[in-house]
Amino acid sequence: MKPVIKDNMVLKPFTVGWDPNDGIMDDPDNHVERFLSTLTNMFYDADAAERFLKEHGDVLLYEVYEKTIPQRDGEIQFCSSITHPGKIGAEYFMTKGHFHARRDTAEIYYCLRGKGYMLMELENGEYEIGELLPGKTVYVPGNYAHRSINVGDETLISLAVYPGDAGHDYGSIETSGFKHVVVEKNGKPEVIENPRYGRMKA
């Protein structure tokens, strides 16, 4: 039985352990697993995603472990964000990405392991890349959609922390995608314009 946390609940102090090497939380309230089969449309080369599925079967792209915290202003949400290594065509494995429902809320990512890019993009398409390397903190300001991208060979693990009432808004990411995608070119990550921007569900 998972605890039922109501938004008007008063929380007591607690401690949760998790392994910095694999990101697995000892006693999570929630474990999200995102498999390729449900996210083929997320990659700009949807044909490559279908081919990948046929050749390799379904794979786990990323996972999140979290405790349930009331979704209200003043609280702090935190989770371990785990993105596995791999590529669909030239595009690296990544998280779906999202805006915050409350757009003016920030988030920080503290990288524990691996090598990644944090793609941050405003609604107008302006973007910034933050490098995720062990010991680095990326500050994602409000109004930026953000996505973790694993550009290395091992699992990318970060601690993500954001305001209690930030919420998630996946809507425009699912339909339009990010304007930019990160692909491997000559063995190195490179940011290119998303050829399918605006029609990810087309």
Task: Kindly list the residues in this chain that would bind a copy of itself in the complex (CB under 8 A).
Answer: 10-20, 67, 69, 73-76, 78, 102, 104-108, 110, 118, 120, 128, 130-131, 133-142, 144, 159, 161-164, 166
Write the DSSP symbol of residue 49.
H
Annotate 11-30 with b (16+ C-beta within 10 A) or e (fewer).
Answer: eeeeeeebeeeebbbeebee
Report the nearest approach of a copy of itself to the CB of residue 44 (Å): 22
What is the distance between the alpha carbons of residues 190 and 55, in angstroms, rounded to a whole number? 26
Report the nearest approach of a copy of itself to the CB of residue 185 (Å): 22
Report the nearest approach of a copy of itself to the CB of residue 78 (Å): 5
User: How many CB atoms lie under 10 A from the CB of residue 166?
Assistant: 22
In this complex, which beta carbon is closest to a copy of itself, that of residue 53 or of residue 159?
A: 159
In this complex, which beta carbon is closest to a copy of itself, that of residue 27 or of residue 190?
A: 27
User: How many CB atoms lie under 10 A from the CB of residue 10?
Assistant: 6
Report the nearest approach of a copy of itself to the CB of residue 66 (Å): 11
Report the nearest approach of a copy of itself to the CB of residue 109 (Å): 9
In this complex, which beta carbon is closest to a copy of itself, that of residue 20 or of residue 195?
A: 20
In this complex, which beta carbon is closest to a copy of itself, that of residue 39 or of residue 151?
A: 151
In this complex, which beta carbon is closest to a copy of itself, that of residue 88 or of residue 132?
A: 132
What is the distance between the alpha carbons of residues 136 and 112, in angstroms, rounded to a whole number? 8
Alpha helices in 21-131 (DSSP H): 46-56
CA 105 to chain centre: 16
User: How many CB atoms lie under 10 A from the CB of residue 93?
Assistant: 24
